Amino acid sequence: MRRPNRRQLFGAAAAALLALGWLAPAPVAAGDYPDRPITMLVGYKAGGQTDLVGRAAAKVLSDQLGVPVNVVNKPGGGGVLAAHELSKAKPDGYTLLFHTNSVVNTIPFLMKRVTFKPEDFEYAGMITSYQVGLATQKDAPYDTLEEFVAWAKENLGFSFGSLSPTARMTMDVIAEREGLDVNIVPLKGGGDLLNALLGHQVALVWSGGIHYKYRDQLKTIVALTTFRHPSAPDVETIDEAGYPLGMDGRTTLILPKGTPREMLERLSTALKAAETNETFAKVVAAANIPIMYKDLDEAATEVAESYARNKAIFESAGIEPR
């Protein structure tokens, strides 16, 4: 009884080793890229909004390039872990990261342990934009930031829901300038945010755009982006309201430094197809995420410019990485 068992075990182990050897990557062939499956890292857990857009984009890329694009979730530190993983990968175009550009243009200003900079990666394009804004209940007695400040001066000790250090900084800057007394309530994730807002626990929240799903219950009082939101074109931006705090987050195809330009071009063209792809449009429309495509050169410019803009904002607010 014992022997066949052991022999079977050895057999299985040998088979597994053979399979592993077969799966090992073939040497890099630059000419006819891509000729084998591409791994797309996503720096968030499966099921989130960015993961959803990433998977829809992976499908478009796969159709365009003719090879499978496999999504691998590498959650941790808002994408920092995935970015680290990417920086260690070969620049052969077969490993890429689908993530918001905040991982390179915002997080370096907040986390001391992050050592990478925007120029440590290549960018193949951007596809969607986050509609970040300050949101509240539909029946709240203020429609604009100006009205909110007036209300907050009468209601000292109001509650503001914050998801991130950026959200905290935004409210701190406004409160300091206007002399408001704010209680900042830490929230964990989109579900927690919606609970707090729909349950009237807080007067205002910093939202990454998830609140647009609830048009009957919620409204936006100011856009925290440099552009007006396609979902609420009448709401002014924070810069228009007189506070130079506008920052943009865009889903970006990020690649390791040194990836050949023809590969980036191939990916950039393939990503452009998402702009007109019906399934992709359906997915992002259902989540109220606007498509704002940028090709590889525009993406590189956008990353550099937003990095400089965010740097100025964080420095003037006195935020130091820690």
Write out the residues near other proteins by the rule CB under 8 A: 5, 45-48, 51-52, 55-56, 59, 71-77, 80-81, 84, 110, 113, 157, 159, 164-165, 183-188, 191-192, 194-196, 198-199, 201-202, 213-214, 216, 279, 282-283, 286-287, 322
**What is the 3-class SS of the chain, one letter each residue?**
CHHHHHHHHHHHHHHHHHHHHHHCCCCCCCCCCCCCCEEEEECCCCCCHHHHHHHHHHHHHHHHHCCCEEEEECCCHHHHHHHHHHHHCCCCCCEEEEEECHHHHCHHHCCCCCCCCHHHEEEEEEEEECCCEEEEECCCCCCCHHHHHHHHHHCCCEEEEECCHHHHHHHHHHHHHHCCCEEEEECCHHHHHHHHHHCCCCCEEEECCHHHHCCCCEEEEEECCCCCCCCCCCCCECCCCCCCCCCCCEEEEEEECCCCHHHHHHHHHHHHHHHHCHHHHHHHHHCCCCEEEECHHHHHHHHHHHHHHHHHHHHHCCCCCC
> Smallest distance, Å, CB 242 to other proteins?
27
> Smallest distance, Å, CB 165 to other proteins?
5
- 84 or 272, CB closer to other proteins? 84
- 81 or 304, CB closer to other proteins? 81
- 74 or 229, CB closer to other proteins? 74
> Smallest distance, Å, CB 12 to other proteins?
11
- 3 or 322, CB closer to other proteins? 322
d(CA 190, CA 174): 23
- 100 or 268, CB closer to other proteins? 100
> Smallest distance, Å, CB 118 to other proteins?
19
> Smallest distance, Å, CB 77 to other proteins?
4
- 58 or 300, CB closer to other proteins? 58
DSSP β-ladder status, 204-207 and 158-162: parallel
> Smallest distance, Å, CB 251 to other proteins?
15
> Smallest distance, Å, CB 320 to other proteins?
12
> Smallest distance, Å, CB 137 to other proteins?
12
d(CA 81, CA 85): 6
- 175 or 287, CB closer to other proteins? 287
| Helix 145-154 / helix 165-178 crossing angle, nearest 10 deg | 70
- 185 or 273, CB closer to other proteins? 185
- 116 or 227, CB closer to other proteins? 116
Exposed / middle / buried, residue 221 (Cβ in 10 Å: 0-12, 13-18, 19+): buried
> Smallest distance, Å, CB 216 to other proteins?
8
